[in-house]
Chains A and B, each alone.
Chain A
Amino acid sequence: MTIANIDAAWIDAALTAARPQAVAALLRYFRDLDTAEEAFQDACLRALKAWPKNGPPRDPTAWLILVGRNAALDGVRKQSKSAPLPPEELISDLEDAEASLVDRLDGEHYRDDVLRLLFICCHPDLPATQQVAVALRIVSGLSVRQIARAFLVGESAMEQRITRAKARIGAADVPFGAPDLEERAQRLNTVAAMVYLVFNEGYSAGGQELLTRGALCDEAIRLARLLLRLFPGEPEVMGLTALLLLQHARAPARFDADGAVVLLEDQDRGLWNGRMIAEGLALIDKAVRHRRPGPYLVQAAIAAEHDRAERPEDTNWARIDLLYGDLEQLAPSPVVTLNRAVAVAKVAGPEAALEMIEPLAPKLSGYFHFFGLRGGLLLQLGRRDEARVAFDQAIALANTAAEAAHIRLHLDRLMKEGVGG
């Protein structure tokens, strides 16, 4: 019988799954990120020894918190022989029994613990990419090497970045008391934005990078589901999770074998992940019942319109146009208007779309997709010379090799047709 044996893969998955809750709870005990992380690390090492021998505990997370806390307290005690005792508040709840700990794991505390842990990674002084790196390190537990690979930088550079970011976080004073409703809502917003950033880091990767960076999308979905389990009644968390699932469902079709971009309309829809789409649609259904649509839910609804269309020509562009109109009101931004213009081009033609994006030029003068779309629309209108200029600008602004290659395809076609005509 193999059931009593637990394999390394299971332990690995269990430790990864427990990490956010466990580190968050340890952070509350010790009020110090490094101590909390070391305590968790310590507990993991003990789990690797104890679990294969004794079988896994009924509640791995509670086990890891208890063992981690005891291990760290041991460390504090040893140090205290030669150093002054730490202030009382540094070690809270020293006498807690395991039972009450498990109780608290299920309670509100634990929810705020994890939210706090995620929130401190979103320190406003940290640039977006550093927020993402720190969250991946602290919350997801990815190694510095994995994160460095995902960001396409050297390991030591990433190590430095994370160390500096953590020092900033350490200096920030995020209160440990339970947040009030407004504070909680604010934290949730900030954290949701960070999860979306993690996703985008993976989603914007192309071709060769996809193997290493695509994992970031899976990680973001894991974090979103974690948030959703903590805040099961928040429609925007449902919307965020749905959005990530519905976009990631198309990942297997987004690039061809050579790593080149395959446009939505050219993708093999049979490759889309049906189970992810079903889950995303189920979450939208749930969220809609709350009758207060937010930006994530509307974006998820837009993604759903694409995912639902069996063939590109079945896409309901009029509805997508309306949804983008809603999004422009909920979260106005030139990028949203730019995206709306794609739908407008389908519904009302390239002329109308071009008219819509021209006023965006000053704000989007450094944005690859602006010039990509502009070039496409000009081309449809037969304004070939202007199209070529726009495509050249797009290539200069491309973020990835795949993006540049895609525009070059347009240009090549232009050149050929130019010669032929």
Chain B
Amino acid sequence: MLYAILCYNSEDVVGAWSPAEDAAVMARLGAVEAGLAVAERMGAAARLLPTTAAVTLRKGRELMVIDGPFAETKEQLLGFYVVDCADLEAAIAVARDLAVANPDRGAYEIRPLAVYRPGCLAGAPRQVRGRKAHVRGAGA
């Protein structure tokens, strides 16, 4: 069974980590990921930019793009993992390992996947360099 492990935490607190703290947490989480990868249980994983970078497409009779995240909550969805686990207990065990690696506040939501398409992307986010943005003339 594939499970998604959704990482919730306070953006303010995580954002206040020093680069050294951040790197230390990512290294500890990386060790957990590496273990899962060796067992061939590791699927996609992502860390999200702050919710202030989000827009939300509201569905309804008219589609509306709203600035900001879908839900204003005390803790925010900051990232996720997809892991292959025999059962719920195994998935909780993975989340426990992550929690020990990153013993901050917050929560890991564990949700079985109904559909999983691994997609065709490999590696890090696309280079930002060379991208075009069009501010000029936007007001005209």
Contact = CB atoms under 8 A, between A and B. Distances in A.
Given A2-B100, A106-B72, A233-B67, A323 B125 contact: no
Interface string B55-95: 10000000001111000101000000000000000000000
A298 interface: yes
A284 B128 contact: no
A58 interface: yes
B13 A17 contact: yes
A282 B53 contact: yes
A322 B103 CA distance: 49
A288 B50 contact: no
A281 B131 contact: yes
Contact of B16 (A13, A301, A309, A319): A13
B52 A225 contact: yes
B111 interface: no
Nearest to A234: B67
A231 to B, nearest CB: 9
A10 B53 contact: no
**Top 7 A-B pairs, shortest CB-CB distance:** A17-B12, A232-B68, A301-B135, A282-B53, A13-B16, A232-B67, A2-B103
Contacts of A281: 128, 131, 133
Given A3-B103, A281-B131, A286-B53, 14 more contacts: A5-B103, A16-B16, A56-B105, A232-B68, A238-B67, A277-B128, A284-B133, A286-B55, A289-B65, A291-B138, A292-B139, A307-B128, A308-B131, A323-B135
A253 B49 CA distance: 23
Contacts of A275: 49
Nearest to A319: B136
B132 to A, nearest CB: 8
B104 A10 contact: yes
Interface size, B (range): 35 or more
B52 A283 contact: yes
Contacts of B66: 232-233
Interface in A173-198: none
B49 A288 contact: no
A298 B135 CA distance: 7
A345 interface: no
Contacts of A91: none
Q: Looking at chain A's contact residues, is the secondary structure mostly helix, strand, loop, or mixed?
A: helix
Interface residues of A, number: 54
Interface in A211-232: 222, 225, 228-229, 232
A314 B10 CA distance: 39
Q: Which of A58, A59, A278 has the most CB of B within 10 A?
A: A278
B131 A288 contact: no
Contacts of A285: 133
A279 B129 contact: no
Nearest to A330: B139
Given A281-B133, A301-B133, A228 B52 contact: yes
B134 interface: yes
A3 B97 CA distance: 11
Interface in A283-310: 283-289, 291-293, 297-298, 300-301, 304, 307-310
A130 interface: no
B93 to A, nearest CB: 13
A264 interface: no
A165 to B, nearest CB: 27
Contact of A59 (B13, B17, B74, B133): B74
A78 B15 CA distance: 40
A307 B129 CA distance: 7
Interface string B110-140: 0000000000000001001111011110110
A8 interface: no
Nearest to B133: A284
Given A308-B128, A310-B129, A291 B139 contact: yes
